[in-house]
Amino acid sequence: MPIRTIIIGIIFIVVSGFIAYFGDWLGRYLGKRRISVWGLRPRHTAMLITSFTGSLIALLTIVAVLATAQTFREIIVRGERILEQSRQLQRRYARLSSEYTQIQQRYEEAVQRVREQQQQMEENMRQLRQQQQQLEEVRQQLQQRRLQVAELNRRIAEQSKELQILQKQNATLKASSEQLRRTNAQLRQTNAQLERQGQFLREQNTLYQQNNTELASQNMQYASENVRLNSENARLQQQAAQLRQQTEQLAQQSRQLQQQADTLRGTIAQLQAQEEELRGLIERLEQIKEKPIIARKDEEIARRVIPNGLSLRATRNEIYRLLVEAGRIAQARGASAGTAHRAAYVPLKRVSMPSPAGSSTEVVADEAVSVEVLAEQIARSDVPVVVLAVAVRNSVAGEPIQVELKPYRNRLVYRKDEEIARVRVWSGRSTGEIVNTLIEFLRDEVRSRAIEAGIIPQIGTEGEPSVGTVSSVEITDLADRIVREGRGRYVNVVVVADADTYSADSLRLRFRIVQ
């Protein structure tokens, strides 16, 4: 309590005591003098003068205090207005406290999300290190395979050389065998001639016996040479068969080595593709570290309502207007067109196209094909269609945003003044507690019922679905109304639609308080 207020209180106490003492003294004095005024009895005259004197002293005291104490003067003159300002400041303090609590909660949620993202980033880095280790192991295995392939190629070259030498030896042996066969034939012819000559010699045995003996010994030598040549020919044929078998084995090994080389080439190509993919992933992770994320996966970038009954060309133009609008929004966020012609575009994807036979085939569709297929679907619709441009993946500043076009039927969900939900609130609580209850009710009950009824939510940058907005001022005013009209009792807060609302519209709300 200020010292000046204490002094004023002490002055009032002293003056009150003085007035009581002086009034008593003046009454006794006038009673003894027996004074009479205006024909009154002395006792009544003493009472009148005593009362007047006490009032005059109190009036003079108040005037003196007002003249000397500025705080007391302001309390007397502006007391009601100060009290009203105090009540307004208290309400404003309660509203600011509620907003501070909400901001603190959002800050804590943001901190939690940042921690989760950091944990996810650490997990991604751990997986990346594991993949790098796996890539290093695969590179080592690839190096070993390359060494094995080089060794196999060297062995193939050596065996090819050996095969060529064996083929040359085989050709030489074949030539020798052919010459031996010709020699054998000549020997058989010679043997026949000798047989004829032996007959002739037997007739002349007496004359040529010595010559016959010599010729017989030569014949035996030729026969043994013939046997030796036949065995050599058989051995050479066996070696030729073995050489052919070895040649076939070497050819088979060569084919197997060729297949292994082809397999290794495919593995090398796959590893190179994986390496390129990992490099792209590393570059993207570096970009995510250095650049801010301007669009998250499944975040809505833009939406557009396309009426039914339009021609195919007009429907196609409406879809391209949506893409142009999404490109402007993406460029405002920090996206760049890059190699694309727009800051937001539809990437390549696989779609099923019907064939004349009735079956469907998968084809790779670019933006033009995707827009054409979607335009044909919307042109056949009997109700308006809202098309959402939704981010396909996380995008950072400096690169275009890849979007997917999602169509939805735009039907009437709520009529004006139609009830959406209601909640029972006790008006005896503080304004801040009531505000927290209303925020929780709007965020959970009202949002879930609106989505179930058919309102298409908008996914924001934080991944939170939203069907509409209500300002903090409206919620605070509603809490003040609940406290003022409820008077310490339970009241029902009814949430109704402020206008006819379709699936693509943002839900506007109005509140009613029912006892």
C-alpha–C-alpha distance, residues 91 and 478, integer Å: 12
pLDDT digits (tens, 9 = 90+) for 500-515: 999 999 899 999 988 7
Task: For residues 327-333, give the mean pLDDT.
Answer: 90
- For the chain, give the percent of residues with pLDDT over 70: 75
Question: DSSP readout, 43-95?
Answer: HHHHHHHHHHHHHHHHHHHHHHHHHH-HHHHHHHHHHHHHHHHHHHHHHHHHH
b/e for 444-461, b at 16 or more Cβ within 10 A?
A: eebbeebeeebbbebbee
**Band (369; pLDDT cuts 50, 70, 90):** confident
**Band (458; pLDDT cuts 50, 70, 90):** confident
Task: For residues 242-256, give the mean pLDDT.
Answer: 74
User: Which pLDDT score, from 0 to 100, does residue 28 have?
Assistant: 66
Greater confidence (200 vs 494) lies with 494
- Name residue, tokens 């993919």: 277
User: Which pLDDT score, from 0 to 100, does residue 375 have?
Assistant: 92
Distances (CA, A) of 200 to 187, 190, 205, 206, 214: 19, 15, 8, 11, 15
182: pLDDT strictly greater than 90:
no
318: pLDDT strictly greater than 90:
yes
190: pLDDT strictly greater than 90:
no
Cβ–Cβ under 8 Å, residues 236 and 166:
no
pLDDT digits (tens, 9 = 90+) for 12-49: 677 767 776 666 676 666 666 666 666 666 667 667 77
Let me know if 246 is exposed, middle or buried by CB neighbors in 10 A (0-12, 13-18, 19+).
Answer: middle
Task: For residues 174-184, give the mean pLDDT.
Answer: 72
315: pLDDT strictly greater than 90:
yes
Task: For residues 253-257, give the mean pLDDT.
Answer: 73
80: pLDDT strictly greater than 60:
yes
- For the chain, give the percent of residues with pLDDT over 90: 20
C-alpha–C-alpha distance, residues 210 and 287, integer Å: 112
- Using DSSP, how many helices (H) and how many strands (E) does the chain show? 9, 15
288: pLDDT strictly greater than 60:
no
C-alpha–C-alpha distance, residues 431 and 74, integer Å: 30
pLDDT digits (tens, 9 = 90+) for 415-450: 999 999 999 998 888 888 889 999 999 988 999 999
Greater confidence (173 vs 313) lies with 313
85: pLDDT strictly greater than 90:
no
313: pLDDT strictly greater than 90:
yes
Task: For residues 127-152, give the mean pLDDT.
Answer: 80
